[in-house]
Structure 1
Amino acid sequence: MLDSIQFDLDAYLRRIGWEGERRADAATLRGVHLAHLRAIPFENLDAVGGRAPSLDPADLTAKLVHSRRGGYCYEHNTLFARALEALGFRVTLLNARVVVGADTIASRPRTHMALLADVPGEQRPYLADVGFGAIGSLLEPVPLVADVEFAGAGRRHRLVHVPHDGPLEMWLLQAHDPAKDDWTGQYAFTLEPFEKPDFDVINWHIATNPRSPFAQRLYVQHVSAARHLLLDGRLLTRTRPDGTVTEREVTDEAEARRLLEEEFGITAPEEVTLLTG
């Protein structure tokens, strides 16, 4: 699907700490998905530094697998798609509209990459996504079935159909907010397949457009079993599995670099200014 360049599956699995089976089955899909999210942080340091990150396979491997760096959705899900294909899954690239904070679905452009993974022997594919930089994101993939709640690694999600004028059904991924005991939309998508060149264009736009939030301020997250850690500009937020939230301001550049190194597992490039304003 992506290209014919050899993928170093051994190095990738070492990076995420996966020592389980290497089979194209649902258990492996769930396990590798969760391991990836807990090992490789979400971050937009390249965009903050004024350039679009490379989606070239060799560059992705060097950055996300062999360095103390992470990436944002196009990087994470491109890398994850290659890993899944190496494990024997068939993968389709999807393009979604992020609806968090939006008044309507149509008010947002398609800017988020998600994946559809076909599991041999199963009738329905799985929605997989290791690159959604938001609290409440998928920790484990979910089968593509409407109006059924799924619990994965302590988080609850469901897929629903939403009205859409196009020829294809539109799906909406919802997450359960334990603090509000309510469902909130995360992103909407159809099953139209997209290709790597589509995301090369979108990636450049999101990273370099001065109106893009990813080009304006630092946005970093790391997920563990005990907490979801988010640094949004100067605001550091810790969210516990029960929904308990603590927040504080990061005071200066030195503290931001220390936090990235010690708590997010990221060595920030010296030439990138992390805090602005």
Structure 2
Amino acid sequence: MDLDAYFRRIGTDAAGAPSLATLTRLIERHQATLPFENIETLCGRVPALDLDALQRKMLLGRRGGYCFEQNTLFMAVLSDLGYAVRGLEGRVRTGVPAEVSTARTHMALGVTIAGKDWLVDVGFGAFSPPYPLRLEVSVSDGGGGDASHRFVTAPHGELLMQARSFDGWTDGYLIMPSHPLPIDYEMGNWWTATYPNAMLRKNLLVSRAVADGGRLTLFNRRLTLRRPLDGAPQERELRDRNEIAAVLAEDFNLDVAPQDLDAIMERPGLLSPSAA
């Protein structure tokens, strides 16, 4: 792991000794500068998860990635910095009816500091926790009524991560008690990138953290600015390729190759009004 390149990319000095405060700062800078994005899958490619490929893409190539890419890279960073970090896996519940089962296609991280376990996730797009979240029911370091994320108990005893929006709490994903291996992430990554009905195979999704705890998100051609506790989100529809290209470059600081932008624009329904 080229830590110097990583710190240059996220715009901060080298981290100090492992601590909750340092970890929080790294999460904040990572989410602000390395956007969640699924451009690879829309171009018909399966993202590579080896560390060399991730560093070329995300640190040198001015690109982002989705959960398997983001959290694999961040796990390598934290490991090299001396954190006790492990991989977790989850079942995504955002936008999924209660009766529908989902696969283990989300990667998150568990970090132990001073004997306490924390969820760390820089790869869940608009609903990524902006700080370490205690891996316990109804416990958050977000500050009481200002907390933006929490855990509740699911019907079968798992931990369900929820994110707070202006109109209440939204389900994020179930944390599974299993201990995933790298091959489990390879399988989830391949399925997410190739299954025809996978959400990230059919829709453009780009998101990064902005000032004051907000998130800027592009879903197909709907650009949304959300601040968890500040009322309804601000939204606008992008009209054409030029506007989409400008937003990707200027608002998300992504260097998208022209041929990749062509592939995105060819996706069925991208230029039709965004789904609610």
> TM-score under structure 1 normalisation?
0.88
Aligned pair partner of 1:147 in 123, 128, 138: 138
**Structure 1 gaps, min length 5:** 1-6
Q: Is the 8 A contact 1:73 1:112 kept in 2?
A: yes
Q: Residue type matched to 2:238 in 1?
A: V
Q: How far apart, in 2, do the equivalents of 1:104 and 1:79 lie?
A: 32
1:10-159 paired onto structure 2 within 5 Å: 10-19=4-13, 21-104=15-98, 107-119=101-113, 122-134=114-126, 136-151=127-142, 155-159=147-151
Aligned pair partner of 1:195 in 175, 178, 181: 181
CA deviations 1:113-165 (Å, max 9, x no partner) are: 0000122xx2221100000013x42011112222224317x65221122231x
1:182-261 paired onto structure 2 within 5 Å: 182-226=168-212, 227-241=214-228, 242-261=230-249
- Structure whose residues are more often helix by fraction: 2
CA deviations 1:147-196 (Å, max 9, x no partner) are: 224317x65221122231xxxx511112222x22x322211112321111
Q: Is the 8 A contact 1:124 1:145 kept in 2?
A: no
Q: How much has 1:20 moved relative to structure 2?
A: 5.8
Q: Is the 8 A contact 1:100 1:185 kept in 2?
A: yes
Q: What SS does the corresponding residue of 2:106 show, helix, strand or coil?
A: strand
Q: What SS does the corresponding residue of 2:125 show, helix, strand or coil?
A: coil
Q: Is the 8 A contact 2:28 2:130 kept in 1?
A: yes
Matched residue, 1:170: 158
The 1:218/1:184 distance shift into structure 2, 3 A limit, reads closer
Q: What SS does the corresponding residue of 1:194 show, helix, strand or coil?
A: coil
Q: Is the 8 A contact 2:83 2:111 kept in 1?
A: yes
2:147 counterpart of 1:161 = no
> TM-score under structure 2 normalisation?
0.89
The 1:58/1:110 distance shift into structure 2, 3 A limit, reads same
Q: How far apart, in 2, do the equivalents of 1:155 and 1:60 lie?
A: 32
Q: How far apart, in 1, do the equivalents of 2:200 and 2:149 lie?
A: 25
Q: How far apart, in 2, do the equivalents of 1:59 and 1:254 lie?
A: 29
Q: Is the 8 A contact 1:139 1:155 kept in 2?
A: no
Matched residue, 1:4: none
Q: How far apart, in 1, do the equivalents of 2:15 and 2:86 lie?
A: 23
Q: Residue type matched to 2:264 in 1?
A: L
Matched residue, 2:272: none
2:264 counterpart of 1:274 = yes
Q: What SS does the corresponding residue of 1:52 show, helix, strand or coil?
A: coil
Q: Is the 8 A contact 1:133 1:221 kept in 2?
A: yes
Q: How far apart, in 2, do the equivalents of 1:70 and 1:217 lie?
A: 16
Please provide the CA RMSD for this pair.
1.8
Q: How far apart, in 2, do the equivalents of 1:231 and 1:176 lie?
A: 19
Q: Residue type matched to 1:151 in 2?
A: G
Q: Work out the number of aligned pairs and report it.
A: 261
**Structure 2 gaps, min length 5:** 270-276
